[in-house]
């Protein structure tokens, strides 16, 4: 674990400098001014002290077994290996390489990185960075500001991790501006050793961390991220933002990280599967974190609004309703109570409008009533501070109720902060998350409910079908692979589908017209005949497809026509049972680097091509996920039946989708696989065409 990194006994800075505007000086300054509880050891060959702290000529001059848990390296990259050796000798546990000049600059820097890592492994040193800002731990027992940035955080409950120093710092500043306290901060730049998943795991264990915030431009180790995030997110919220979502954004990201941003859908699926809350707006993320950091998680989506001004409640209502939240009516008991306690003109419904003249007692009475009312899981307050009431008293009542931590409270505080400092301070002290704008408050509430929904959602279980011929399918694949084929033949594809008990239209391959006629009789008319040859790619363009053949002579004629058009040596004829008209759907699977396959489901034809009405999920699919994928398309009423139409066999579709999931999970060699189309009928489904690419 990273305990010695985030809670170092002593910190040394190799490259500590007397020059005020240098990083080697700034780190000493930050450690001193933030009140680091451990020892600070500037290493500088010349200066006797840095910022009033005794300096040493070399790290080797420090007392042996001095418990140097963290060493900052602020020296040119080429000197790093030497410093690593020295650190190893001194039993240093972690090295934060703040300097750049490593892999981000090219092969030479990459070589130095490798050398450093070899030395680190030899001595058991963990490496943070290089090309990074470092860490901060605001724990009063530690106060470790091992970082050269300029944000001075308050002690709090939000922990923040990001490769990108610029974004980490930007988010951190906003927390500071909003007076939201930080617990741990970690920005690890090139991240050659200590990774984001490892840091998230640590933050998950850290008792002082209530919410974890992360920013990514791509996921380097998707599988590890998924595993860690899943475990942690079950205990505390992880809020993530993935940028580089547009082609241009990804390019901008690539140009400053040297990496290529991963496809979006993929990251989103990982976030979803892990239970990570995904944000596309950093402001929403920051404000949600503020809410999570001091308020309990709501048990459900039912919000009660208390306001002393009308319009802002309307705005937040719009935001929350669009976010899937509910605004139930007040219980009869609450109504009775509030009719007694509020101003006579007050609006005793949800939103409860106390009126601008409401006092602290009115606020308190409404808060108590809604806290006690089982109709509500959380409370949104809109609080404007008119000059003619005692706003300090109102703030005290809100803060007092918030401290009980019964149901979450989020407050839209509308005030001139420079004139109501006491109000602001009281609410902050009571842990009431305050936002200037009603939409911002609404989105923060939506995020809290989204986390609860995510945490409590039924994810189902991945059921393994026993009636599959995994070995048989693997053999077909291996044979194709050995033969150097990338695209499997129709025969091979059918063999694999049959092995997994996926219903396919009956078929067989015939070398001649005579054989084809026999086969057709066997399968039963009407049939389809398709030319089969490795030389032709687009069968219909080559005139290699004949549909709806009802008779022997039709089959013979079709084959004659194909023979006259297609002069391939390996020409054979694929005879398949002709399917009547039904609803066309498609399924697909695509291998993703390092994390199995992404599955796709949609309606066929123009629905997928024009309306892009498709859903995605990561394999292996649980029963719930399969059902959600099929029910998740906009056109799903077509599946369940619409305008008196009967609908199709949805359970059979789920069955095929789950078998496909098992198939690609069993056979990771499959790069891409399509079942297109699958014809769905009222009582069955049938794959008509399929493609496998290895």
Q: Among residue numbers 232 through 251, which ones bind a second copy (CB under 8 A)?
A: 241, 243-249
Residue whose CB is less far from a second copy, 281 or 486: 281
Calpha distance 620→461 (Å, rounded): 10
Q: Determine the size of the site formed for a second copy (CB under 8 A).
A: 86
Dihedral (CA of 323, 328, 329, 333) sign: negative
Nearest distance in Å: CB 362, a second copy: 16
3-state secondary structure of 124: coil
- Residue 191: closest CA among 167, 162, 231: 162
Interacting span for a second copy (CB under 8 A) from 193-201, 315-323, 457-465, 518-526: 315-323
> Among 267, 415, 579, 661, which residue interacts with a second copy (rule: CB under 8 A)?
415
Residue whose CB is less far from a second copy, 314 or 483: 314
Residue whose CB is less far from a second copy, 549 or 639: 639
17: CB partners within 8 A, 6+ apart: 23, 24, 25, 44, 47, 50, 74
Nearest distance in Å: CB 98, a second copy: 12
Nearest distance in Å: CB 386, a second copy: 7
Q: Does 173 bind a second copy (CB under 8 A)?
A: yes
> Among 296, 386, 526, 647, which residue interacts with a second copy (rule: CB under 8 A)?
386
User: Would you give the DSSP letter of residue 211?
Assistant: E
Residue whose CB is less far from a second copy, 27 or 448: 27
Residue whose CB is less far from a second copy, 151 or 662: 151
Segment 277-306, which members bind a second copy (CB under 8 A)? 280-283, 286, 305
Interacting span for a second copy (CB under 8 A) from 21-29, 225-233, 359-367, 554-562: 21-29
> Among 108, 177, 471, 486, which residue interacts with a second copy (rule: CB under 8 A)?
177
3-state DSSP of 371-408: HHCCCCCEEEEEEECCCCCCHHHHHHHHHHHHHCCCCC
Q: Does 609 bind a second copy (CB under 8 A)?
A: yes
Q: Does 385 bind a second copy (CB under 8 A)?
A: yes
Q: Does 392 bind a second copy (CB under 8 A)?
A: no
Q: Does 602 bind a second copy (CB under 8 A)?
A: no
Interacting span for a second copy (CB under 8 A) from 35-43, 84-92, 231-239, 631-639: 631-639
Q: Does 541 bind a second copy (CB under 8 A)?
A: no
Calpha distance 439→676 (Å, rounded): 44
Nearest distance in Å: CB 423, a second copy: 12
Nearest distance in Å: CB 552, a second copy: 31
Nearest distance in Å: CB 389, a second copy: 8
Pattern 26-45, a second copy, x by CB under 8 A: x-------------------
Calpha distance 404→388 (Å, rounded): 29
How are the residues of the chain apportioned to helix, strand and coil, as percentages rounded to the nearest 5?
A: 40, 20, 40
* Total residues belonging to the chain: 694
Backbone angles phi, psi at 144, to 5 degrees: -90, 105
Segment 495-514, which members bind a second copy (CB under 8 A)? none
Segment 418-447, which members bind a second copy (CB under 8 A)? 419, 436-440
Give the CA dihedral 11, 14, 15, 20, nearest 10 degrees: 10
Is residue 501 within 8 A of residue 468, CB to CB? The reply is yes
Pattern 94-123, a second copy, x by CB under 8 A: -----------x------------------
Nearest distance in Å: CB 316, a second copy: 9
Is residue 484 within 8 A of residue 475, CB to CB? The reply is no
> Among 121, 256, 463, 684, which residue interacts with a second copy (rule: CB under 8 A)?
256
Calpha distance 105→249 (Å, rounded): 21
Q: Does 315 bind a second copy (CB under 8 A)?
A: yes
Q: Does 169 bind a second copy (CB under 8 A)?
A: yes
Q: Does 674 bind a second copy (CB under 8 A)?
A: no
Nearest distance in Å: CB 609, a second copy: 7
Nearest distance in Å: CB 169, a second copy: 7
Nearest distance in Å: CB 245, a second copy: 5
> Among 317, 365, 622, 627, which residue interacts with a second copy (rule: CB under 8 A)?
317
- Residue 227: closest CA among 260, 255, 200: 200
Is residue 201 within 8 A of residue 192, CB to CB? The reply is no
Residue whose CB is less far from a second copy, 231 or 636: 636
Pattern 351-370, a second copy, x by CB under 8 A: x-x-----------------
- Residue 178: closest CA among 435, 427, 559: 435
Buried b (16+ CB within 10 A) or exposed e, 640-659: eeeeeeeebbbebbbbbbbb
Q: Does 614 bind a second copy (CB under 8 A)?
A: no
Q: Does 76 bind a second copy (CB under 8 A)?
A: no
Q: Does 414 bind a second copy (CB under 8 A)?
A: yes
- Residue 199: closest CA among 377, 1, 48: 1
> Among 32, 47, 117, 252, which residue interacts with a second copy (rule: CB under 8 A)?
252
Nearest distance in Å: CB 314, a second copy: 5
Nearest distance in Å: CB 518, a second copy: 35
Nearest distance in Å: CB 452, a second copy: 20
Calpha distance 89→414 (Å, rounded): 59
Give the CA dihedral 62, 65, 67, 71, nearest 10 degrees: 50
Q: Does 566 bind a second copy (CB under 8 A)?
A: no
> Among 1, 265, 464, 642, which residue interacts with a second copy (rule: CB under 8 A)?
642
Beta strands in 62-125 (DSSP E): 68-73, 94-97
Q: Supply the Cα-derived Rg of the chain in whole angstroms.
A: 32
Segment 451-490, which members bind a second copy (CB under 8 A)? none
Residue whose CB is less far from a second copy, 391 or 489: 391
Is residue 532 within 8 A of residue 563, CB to CB? The reply is no
Interacting span for a second copy (CB under 8 A) from 113-121, 194-202, 379-387, 590-598: 379-387
Pattern 119-158, a second copy, x by CB under 8 A: -----------------------------x-xxx------
Q: Element (H or E) spanning 156, and its range?
A: strand 155-162
Calpha distance 70→566 (Å, rounded): 72
Is residue 60 within 8 A of residue 166, CB to CB? The reply is no
The β-bridge relationship of strands 583-591 and 597-603 is antiparallel
Which neighbouring-strand residues pair with 691? Answer: 674
Residue whose CB is less far from a second copy, 255 or 564: 255
Residue whose CB is less far from a second copy, 6 or 148: 148
Q: Element (H or E) spanning 134, and its range?
A: strand 134-137
186: CB partners within 8 A, 6+ apart: 6, 128, 134, 135, 136, 159, 160, 161, 162, 168, 199
């Amino acid at each position: 674990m990273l305990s010695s990194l985030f809670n170092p006994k002593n910190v040394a800075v190799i490259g500590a400098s007397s020059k005020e505007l240098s990083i080697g000086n700034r780190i000493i300054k930050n450690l001193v001014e933030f009140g680091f509880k451990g020892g600070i050891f500037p290493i500088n060959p010349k200066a006797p002290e840095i910022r009033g702290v005794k300096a040493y000529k070399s790290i080797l001059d420090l007392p042996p077994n001095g418990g140097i848990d963290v060493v900052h390296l602020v020296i040119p990259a080429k000197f790093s290996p030497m410093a690593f050796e020295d650190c190893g000798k001194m039993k240093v546990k972690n090295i934060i390489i703040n300097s750049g000049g490593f892999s981000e600059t090219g092969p030479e820097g990459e070589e130095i990185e490798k050398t450093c890592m070899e030395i680190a492994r030899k001595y058991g040193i963990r490496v943070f960075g290089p090309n990074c800002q470092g860490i901060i731990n605001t724990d009063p027992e530690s106060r470790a500001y091992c970082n050269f940035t300029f944000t001075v955080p308050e002690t709090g409950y939000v922990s923040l991790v990001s490769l990108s120093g610029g974004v980490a710092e930007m988010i951190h500043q906003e927390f500071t501006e909003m007076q939201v306290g930080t617990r741990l901060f970690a920005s690890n730049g090139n991240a050659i050793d200590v990774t984001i998943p490892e840091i998230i795991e640590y933050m998950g264990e850290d008792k002082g961390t209530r919410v974890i915030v992360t920013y990514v431009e791509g996921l380097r180790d998707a599988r590890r991220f998924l595993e860690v995030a899943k475990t942690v997110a079950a205990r505390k919220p992880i809020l993530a933002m993935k940028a580089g979502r547009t082609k241009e954004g990804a390019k901008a990201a690539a140009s400053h990280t040297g990496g290529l941003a991963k496809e979006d859908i993929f990251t989103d699926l990982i976030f979803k599967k892990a239970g990570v809350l995904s944000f596309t707006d950093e402001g929403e993320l920051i404000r949600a974190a503020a809410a999570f950091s001091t308020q309990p998680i709501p048990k459900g989506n039912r919000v009660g609004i208390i306001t002393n001004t009308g319009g802002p409640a309307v705005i937040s209502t719009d935001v929350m309703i669009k976010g899937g939240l509910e605004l139930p009516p007040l219980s009869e008991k609450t109504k009775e109570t509030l009719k007694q306690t509020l101003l006579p003109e007050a609006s005793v419904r949800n939103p409860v409008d106390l009126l601008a003249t409401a006092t602290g007692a009115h606020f308190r009475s409404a808060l108590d009533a809604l806290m006690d009312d089982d109709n509500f899981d959380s409370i949104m307050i809109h609080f404007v501070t008119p000059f003619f009431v005692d706003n300090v008293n109102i703030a005290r009542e809100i803060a007092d109720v918030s401290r009980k931590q019964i149901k979450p409270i989020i407050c839209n505080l509308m005030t001139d902060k420079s004139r109501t400092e006491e109000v602001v301070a009281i609410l902050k002290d009571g842990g009431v998350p305050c936002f200037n704008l009603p939409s911002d408050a609404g989105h923060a509430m939506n995020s809290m409910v989204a986390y609860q929904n995510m945490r409590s959602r039924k994810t189902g279980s991945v059921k393994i079908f026993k009636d599959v011929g995994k070995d048989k399918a693997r053999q077909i694949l291996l044979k194709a692979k050995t033969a150097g084929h990338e695209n499997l033949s129709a025969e091979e594809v059918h063999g694999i589908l049959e092995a997994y008990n996926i219903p396919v239209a009956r078929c067989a391959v015939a070398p001649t017209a005579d054989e084809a006629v026999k086969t057709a009789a066997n399968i039963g008319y009407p049939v389809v005949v398709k030319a089969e040859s490795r030389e032709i790619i687009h069968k219909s363009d080559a005139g290699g497809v004949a549909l709806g053949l009802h008779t022997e002579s039709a089959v013979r004629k079709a084959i004659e026509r194909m023979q006259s058009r297609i002069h391939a040596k390996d020409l054979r004829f694929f005879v398949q049972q002709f399917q009547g008209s039904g609803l066309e759907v498609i399924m697909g699977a695509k291998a993703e680097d390092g994390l199995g396959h992404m599955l796709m489901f949609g309606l066929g034809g123009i629905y997928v091509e024009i309306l892009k009405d498709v859903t995605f999920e990561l394999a292996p699919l649980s029963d719930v996920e399969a059902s959600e994928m099929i029910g998740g398309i906009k056109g799903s009423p077509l599946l369940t039946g619409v305008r008196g139409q009967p609908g199709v066999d949805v359970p059979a579709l789920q069955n095929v989708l789950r078998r496909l999931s098992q198939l690609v999970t069993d056979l990771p060699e499959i790069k891409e696989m399509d079942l297109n189309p699958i014809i769905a009928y009222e009582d069955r489904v049938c794959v008509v065409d399929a493609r496998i690419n290895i």
